[in-house]
Amino acid sequence: MSTLNIVLVEPQIPQNTGNIARTCAATGARLHLVKPLGFAIDDKKLKRAGLDYWQYLDITYYENLAEFLEKNADGNFFFFTTKGQHIYSDAEYPDNSYLIFGREDAGLPEDLLYHHPEDCVRMPMLGMIRSLNLSNTVAIATYEVLRQWGFPKLKTTGELTKYTWN
């Protein structure tokens, strides 16, 4: 089974993290939260955004970025940043990929990006726009990886409630 990991480094906005948790629950991606967080885990806004999906999550917490990097050194890292020189959809994502996202207000540390230039990817956007919303970026990136993998274990067709498809 393929493993996809979503990593939030020091997220600040509980609603974003809640939405991302819901994306992880819907896709089977593992969620990694790197402290310090800008909110308490029991924050009502966080739980409300994630609705009733918390029971489906596989979450790991880390005290800091150094601990995350040390404990997951065998992973395939992709750093999502507006400073990236490569387009996210051009990357090939192997099993055990870690999609790493920084703080909403500051992104990932620039020294980390500098030391991993080939692993820094970005979403194309107009130059005068600072960035996309974090939860939107995570969703786009997650589904690109899953598309490349053929959407393993995901239901790819739906049913009508009152009718039958021909």
Structure tokens at 19: 């939405």
Strand partners, 100: 7, 79
Asked if 59 contacts 29 with a C-beta cutoff of 8 angstroms, the reply is no
* Three-class secondary structure of residue 92 per DSSP: coil
Q: Determine whether the annotation assigns residue 131 to a binding site.
A: yes
Q: Is 102 annotated as a binding residue?
A: yes
In degrees to the nearest 10, what's the CA dihedral of 52, 54, 57, 63? Answer: 160
CA proximity to 95, closest of 30, 20, 25: 30
Distant-in-sequence, close-in-space partners of 144: CB < 8 Å, separation ≥ 6: 88, 89, 93
The answer to whether the annotation marks 50 as part of a ligand binding site is no
Binding-site members are 102, 123, 131
Give the residue numbers of the binding site for S-adenosyl-L-methionine.
102, 123, 131
